[in-house]
Amino acid sequence: MHPIKAQISKQALSLGFDTVGFCHPSAITKAGRDLYEFLARGHHGDMFWLSENVDRRSDPGVLWPKARSAIVVGHNYAPEENPLPRLEQKSIGNISCYAQNKDYHDVMKKKLRQLAREIATTHNCDVKLFVDTAPVMEKPLAQAAGIGWQGKHTCLVSREFGSWLFIGSIFTTLELPADTNETDHCGTCTKCIDICPTNAFTAPRELDARRCISYLTIEHKGQIPLEFRKSIGNRIYGCDDCLAVCPWNKFAQTASETAYHPRESLKSPLLKDLVKLDDTAFRQIFSGSPVKRIGRDRFVRNVLVAIGNSGDSSLIDNLQPLLHDTSPLVAEMAAWALGELSGNA
């Protein structure tokens, strides 16, 4: 391996990252074209930020013309247990694995800043770092850097870590030889497409976010459309189905980063407790968690969908106070949930 790349890789691994790759920022031209098509179809829904700065997002050379190399890192967050069985426990709220403890943006940024400082100081170069917070298409970059490939569920898949990798990148003016682009190893498998509860995949590697449960429970600010409520089940923040079913996960090891290990209080939280949260209690429980960013109202909206799907008429008493909640999102969904459970009373 190139000596500077070897040095950087060693530094990254010593900071706790699990995999490192190198590519040229311009290596994602096809992904840029796919992005324009995705936006033209309206598949981004309310995520209007995706259409902002689209020229920068589709071409890192526009984002930062001085960049000569991209250093891409992966951080393993594989759960200890398969999350799918929790979907059968109708009395609990199912929170996506990645959000059951610390926000990965904060965890990775701290490590990336340290790595970037070391690179800049050692090699007298300029650097910029990104963790899903700027117009950077990190999954195509990770594939170009040899870390993994974009599976049919549109997420990154690694032969070593399965579907459980967070991605970050450092752009630098340092010129480094690129690694070999990772090839597709999905084969004929379509498990991720077949398991989707809302049929959000229009084709392999084509996602209509407007139908995706992760989008509906996290990004969507309005009321969740009636046609998707039953399919959401007890998923109250995100959805892991297409990730969890990937056969490549058999090679994944449980995350070594303790910040990604689930808090006991968030592994199997009871719906009857979550639905009582006011804004203060919500902020306290989800302090430092990605869940906090959607706010109490959208979160309780999601909990009410799960309650409506629970079939548990004992939860009706928890709904009555929310029928007059100051948030229309909450009040309207409480009425829907009450209607669903009244038939089971």
What positions carry a catalytic annotation? 132
Go through the chain and tell me how many residues it has: 345
Evaluate the CA torsion angle 96, 102, 103, 109 in order and state its sign: negative
CA 186 – CA 191 distance, rounded (Å): 10
Phi-psi region of 187 (alpha: psi -120 to 50; beta: other; left: phi over 0): left
Instruction: Tell me the C-alpha distance between 329 and 257, whole Å.
Output: 36
Q: Which long-range contacts (C-beta less than 8 Å, at least 24 apart) are formed by 196-204? A: 196/241, 196/242, 197/231, 197/232, 197/233, 197/239, 197/241, 198/228, 198/231, 198/232, 201/152, 201/153, 202/43, 204/152
Strands 19-23 and 69-76: antiparallel
How is residue 162 annotated by DSSP?
B
Strand pairing class (94-95; 206-207): unpaired
CA triplet 290, 197, 208: central angle to 5 degrees? 70
Residue 146 corresponds to which tokens in the numbers above? 């040899």
**β-bridge mates for residue 343, sequence order:** none
How far apart (Å, rounded) are the C-alpha atoms in residues 153 and 237? 18
Provide the pairing of β-strand 235-237 with 94-95.
parallel
List Cβ neighbours of 117 (8 Å cut-off, separation of 6 or more).
Answer: none
